[in-house]
Amino acid sequence: MNEVLVKSGGNLVEPLVAEVARLGGLAESQIADCVDAITRRDVPLAQAVIARDVKLDALQAEIERRAIELIATRQPVDRELRRTVAALKIAMNLERCGDLARNIAKRSLVLSESEPLTPLTRSIERMGRLVAARLKEVLDAYTGGELEKAAGVWARDEEVDEHYNSLFR
């Protein structure tokens, strides 16, 4: 058994993984809500998305602090170190998802003042739902430690790219 785990009496990284999963849930909610805000022209929802971004930022900073503390004080090795570094990187990317959702919500405020572009709105909604579904799948794979499932989500990323590119054609 890993010496670090023997000293600590358990898995050091599980609480960190749980916090990353919590951050992922918040990011999922932000994405779903920003898509709803833009497609339904829902100003209060857009404002809520913008306001909630602070929670994602704070949780990401807390995960980063805990991961660095874990590395500095417990010096995990092998799998535990890889999982700790992964938690750091995933948390940064989830926080970025929250930032992008906030930016979409801000744009929806501007768009809500103009005439709706129904075909474009439907395309944005389809792409947003696809992105939200992919995020959920990859977070489920992460928390379940299912590498093949995560790789499968990554392999299907081209579908999102196709939707994105078709919006600009």
How many whole angstroms separate alpha carbon 28 and alpha carbon 65?
Answer: 22
Confidence (pLDDT) at 46: 97
Q: In this predicted structure, which of 3-17, 23-37, 143-157 has the lowest mean pLDDT?
A: 3-17
pLDDT band at residue 10 using 50, 70 and 90 as cut-offs: low
Confidence (pLDDT) at 79: 87
pTM score: 0.86
Per-residue pLDDT at 156 exceeds 80: yes
The domain ranges of the chain are 11-168
Per-residue pLDDT at 2 exceeds 60: no
How many whole angstroms separate alpha carbon 30 and alpha carbon 27?
Answer: 5
pLDDT, averaged across the chain? 89
Among residues 17, 31, 38, the alpha carbon closest in space to that of 120 is found at 38
Specify the CATH number for 11-168; select among 3.30.70.141, 3.40.50.300, 1.20.58.220, 1.20.1050.10: 1.20.58.220
How many whole angstroms separate alpha carbon 157 and alpha carbon 90?
Answer: 17
Q: What is the pLDDT of residues 80-117, one digit of tens each?
A: 999 999 999 999 999 999 999 999 999 999 988 888 77
Tokens 């499968």 map to which residue?
152
For the chain, give the longest Cα–Cα distance.
Answer: 64
